[in-house]
Structure 1
Amino acid sequence: MPSSVQVLGTGQLVELSRRMRAAGGPRLRQNMARRIRRAAEPLQADLQRSITGVQLPGSGRKSRGGPSPTTRPLRRTLAGGVRISVRQGASPGARVWMDRGRLPVDVRNMPWVIEAGRVRHPVYGNRKRWSTQWARPSGWWSRTTDAGVPRMRAEVARVLADVRRDLQ
């Protein structure tokens, strides 16, 4: 699974960035960055909605129950790691990515594990007993990005056309 989706480094973005730097318009650059970020926000929201909707059924064995070793909700924690970054330097563009640094240490690989459809974890924190939860490979990242990237690219192209028109 790719760890990020990027729309950057195209010749149009680089050329436009140079022209804006030459024009010296910081307000114009800020406006473009804000609009590019807004173009990426629907994809970020779709990814967050997608990961919170993933179903992870139990292993099929009867559970004895007991308190969870953590109180944090797994899917919402993972959704909080989906980030957007906008760059305006030599390689301008937008990137939607999973920030592993914002995730707790024990679930840093969980987004990719869930994408594959197999989750192994200790039973209530007991590292001597492990459980495997199977889910249909959700494609929560790949399907969502495949559906959202064309919309994001079209919006970035529209922003570039508007900025190019303002510079002329």
Structure 2
Amino acid sequence: MDVELTPSKEFERVIARMKGAPPQIKRTLSKEIKDATAPIERAAKANIKGTQVRGVRGGGAAQRGAANAARSKRGATGKTGLRESIAKGVTRKITYSGFRTGVRVRVDGKYLPESQRALIRATNKGQWRHPVFGNTSAWVTQKITPAGWFDRAVSEHGPAAIKRIREAARKALQELEK
């Protein structure tokens, strides 16, 4: 799950000119963008950690622990709760070239096993259904409250981030034109 922040035409012009730009301008712009999107990342992590999950307890923690151990060089698992694992995956990405040029705040599912990655969207929606311990004749619905943990973070902090990114792009464009 991700959201792209497309601030302005100035930003697109700056990105287009970054290829031949001095490294200092790119570093400064990247720092400004990271600072602008940090509140979204922090809010999304806090929101998912602050939710309540109701339903049955299953074997999900064991699967997440095994997935984390497989990723770790030392075999360490760390915390394996669903909300903690989703929070670890909240990141920001700036791309200066290629098809998806721009700024994205996303939730990477790499801290979850392949079979649980759909839970990222499901937790944001507020509920999901699954079979009890794999028994497809017995299904339960798990609810997470409040729903929309990612959407709330973006709607609360996104407009301010876009404003700051526009300003940073304007400054970078002025530097490039000197």
How many percent identity over aligned positions?
A: 24
TM-score (norm 2): 0.74
Secondary structure of 2:141's counterpart equals: strand
Give 5+ residue unaligned stretches, structure 1: 60-64
RMSD (Å) for aligned C-alpha atoms:
2.7
Q: What is the CA distance between 1:37 and its match in structure 2?
A: 1.8
Q: Residues 156, 105 of structure 1: CA spacing in aligned structure 2 closer, same or farther, 3 A cutoff?
A: same
CA contact 2:92–2:106 (8 Å) conserved in 1: yes
Alignment-derived partner of residue 14 in structure 1: 12
Q: Residues 100, 151 of structure 1: CA spacing in aligned structure 2 closer, same or farther, 3 A cutoff?
A: same
TM-score (norm 1): 0.78
Q: Residues 68, 131 of structure 1: CA spacing in aligned structure 2 closer, same or farther, 3 A cutoff?
A: same
Q: What is the CA distance between 1:149 and its match in structure 2?
A: 0.8
CA contact 1:44–1:84 (8 Å) conserved in 2: yes
Q: What is the CA distance between 1:117 and its match in structure 2?
A: 2.1
Q: Which amino acid aligns with 2:120?
A: P
Alpha-carbon separation, structure 2, partners of 1:137 and 1:19: 43
Q: What is the CA distance between 1:25 and its match in structure 2?
A: 0.7
Alpha-carbon separation, structure 1, partners of 2:37 and 2:26: 17
Alignment-derived partner of residue 116 in structure 1: 125
Q: Which amino acid aligns with 2:113?
A: P
Q: Which amino acid aligns with 1:25?
A: P
Structure 1 residue corresponding to 2:41, chosen from 35, 39, 44:
44
Q: Residues 74, 18 of structure 1: CA spacing in aligned structure 2 closer, same or farther, 3 A cutoff?
A: closer
Q: Residues 69, 15 of structure 1: CA spacing in aligned structure 2 closer, same or farther, 3 A cutoff?
A: closer
Alignment-derived partner of residue 166 in structure 2: 157
The structure with the largest helix share of the pair is: 2
Give 5+ residue unaligned stretches, structure 2: 66-79
User: Bigger CA drift: 152-161 or 90-99?
Assistant: 90-99
CA contact 1:116–1:137 (8 Å) conserved in 2: no
